[in-house]
Amino acid sequence: MERKKKEALQGIIYVLPSFILIACFSILPIFMSGYFSFTNYNVMNDPTFAALENYAKILKDAYVADAIKNTLAYVVVTVPIQTILSLVFAAFLAYKMQNKTGGFLRSIMFIPVIASAVTAGTIWRIILNTDGGLLNNLLGFLHISPVNWLGSTQTALISICIVAIWKNVGYFLVIYYAGIMGISKDLYEAARVDGATNIQQFFKITMPMLRPITYLVVTLGIIWSFQVFDLSYQMTGGGPGRSTVTIVMAIYNAAFKQYKMGYACAMAMVLLIIVLVINAVENLAFKEKEAK
């Protein structure tokens, strides 16, 4: 008995530092955020109760509406493309190029992942420059007239999406590649004996076997995309106009430019709910498939 108590005490001591930090900087802030979202709070004065005022304001705020619209567009463009590209590339590298060259190519494709979004944004901002930027120069060789990539409301958001895809494919490719390596070779052997083509094998074996990984890749992709900030901040600062403002940028501006902490917290709560719903849907879908 004495021994058990001692062990329990030791366990608690080991866990305690992490618990204090997670409680203070992860759990408590959620409740604070929830509370502030019902108040007007400018940091200098004490918060005053405002009931649902902030949430009502979100619904009417054209800036926030644009932020949500842009973020949704960003999610809808980046997630499917980066998922498909990383799956197809991973499959090709795993089946056709499981050699030194393939390994080398994989290492290179991972490099954009390790650069920060700020670094990537800095470089791409210059590459996409209208006058003499690298991309417009290259297009010039093909006699395509210069495009104002980041300066036009037509192309700014899509340019950011492309840079995001460029940066993310390597990451998901690594996850898919590991997944494909885990699929039993016997399945392919059997399929080949039955005369299945490579393409058929991809659709009938690889894709179904990778379904749990695809759930993960899609969920992570969606959740990260909803949190996009760095790229857009660095490449366009939200412009031109409001064409690349994102949800997190709206939160950042409300909280740290206008000091409307309550309003910003309300937006943050909306973001939290979006993320939790996506997680819940993924869990449900995953459990359903597991049960089958």
Q: Which residues, numbered 252-271, are part of the site for another protein (CB under 8 A)?
A: 252, 255-256, 261, 264-265, 268-269, 271
* Span near another protein by CB under 8 A; candidates 1-9, 48-56, 71-79, 202-210: 1-9
According to the binding rule CB under 8 A, does residue 108 interact with another protein? yes
**Rounded distance between C-alpha atoms, residue 163 and residue 143, angstroms:** 23
Near another protein in 140-199, by CB under 8 A:
166, 169-171, 174-175, 178, 185, 188, 192
Residue 127 interacts with another protein (CB under 8 A)?
A: yes
Q: How far apart are the first and last CA of the chain?
A: 45
User: Which one, 146 or 242, has the nearer CB to another protein?
Assistant: 146
> Minimum CB separation from another protein for residue 278, in Å?
9
Question: Which residue, 31 or 291, is less far from another protein as judged by CB?
Answer: 31
Quick one: which of 52, 76, 84, 118 contacts another protein (CB under 8 A)? 118
CB 247 within 8 A of CB 67: yes
Q: How far is the CB of 120 from another protein (least distance, A)?
A: 8
User: Given candidates 1, 2, 26, 186, which one binds another protein under the rule CB under 8 A?
Assistant: 26
Q: What are phi and psi of 197, to 5 degrees?
A: -80, 170
Strand runs (DSSP E) across the chain, as ranges?
A: 39-40, 48-49
Which residue in 270, 252, 260, 275 sits closest to 59, CA to CA?
270
Instruction: Provide the b/e sequence for 135-174 (b: ≥16 CB within 10 Å).
Output: bbeeeeeeeeeebbbbbeeebbbebbbbbbbebbbbbbbb
In the bound state with another protein, the residue whose beta carbon lies nearer, of 131 and 292, is: 131
What CA dihedral angle connects 85, 88, 94 and 99, to 10 degrees?
-60
| Count, residues near another protein per rule CB under 8 A | 99
The interface with another protein within residues 195-224 (CB under 8 A) comprises 213, 216-217, 219-220, 223
